[in-house]
Amino acid sequence: MFALVTPGPTEWVLILVIVLVLFGAKKLPELARSLGQSMNEFRKAREEFDKELHRAGEDLKGTPQNTQAAQPSQQTPQAQPPIQPPTQPS
């Protein structure tokens, strides 16, 4: 079974060298900037979602629940006589 282990210092250096070779020194600051902006947008969206979820939970706790209105009538329906088709005079 595979163990999930964080890379050591040697692996990080190797990863950085590969990234440097693939993208070049000029692209690295742009990539880091765009990664930072993406992480910031994700954090903002997550915080907004958490606030909305918390607000919805507070709304549910604050509103009284009327179980009578939400549930259909508890009375049993009365049986109706079956409908007879009209008879034709002979």
3-state secondary structure string across the chain: CCCCCCCCHHHHHHHHHHHHHHHCCCHHHHHHHHHHHHHHHHHHHHHHHHHHHHHHHHHHHHCCCCHHHHCCCCCCCCCCCCCCCCCCCC
Q: Report yes or no on 80 lying in a domain.
A: no
pLDDT for 1 beyond 60? no
Give how many domains the chain has, as a whole number: 1
Is residue 64 very low, low, confident or very high in pLDDT (cuts 50, 70, 90)? low
* pLDDT on residue 22: 87
* pLDDT on residue 4: 74
For residue range 17-55, what is the model confidence (pLDDT) as tens digits?
898 888 888 888 888 899 999 999 999 999 999 999 999
Q: Report yes or no on 31 lying in a domain.
A: yes
Which residue segment(s) compose the domain that 41 sits in?
25-61
Give the chain's mean pLDDT: 80
Q: Report yes or no on 36 lying in a domain.
A: yes
Is residue 87 very low, low, confident or very high in pLDDT (cuts 50, 70, 90)? confident
Q: Which of 32, 8, 6, 7 is nearest to 19 (CA)?
A: 32
Q: Report yes or no on 45 lying in a domain.
A: yes
CA geometry: angle at 29 spanning 23 and 33, to 5°? 115
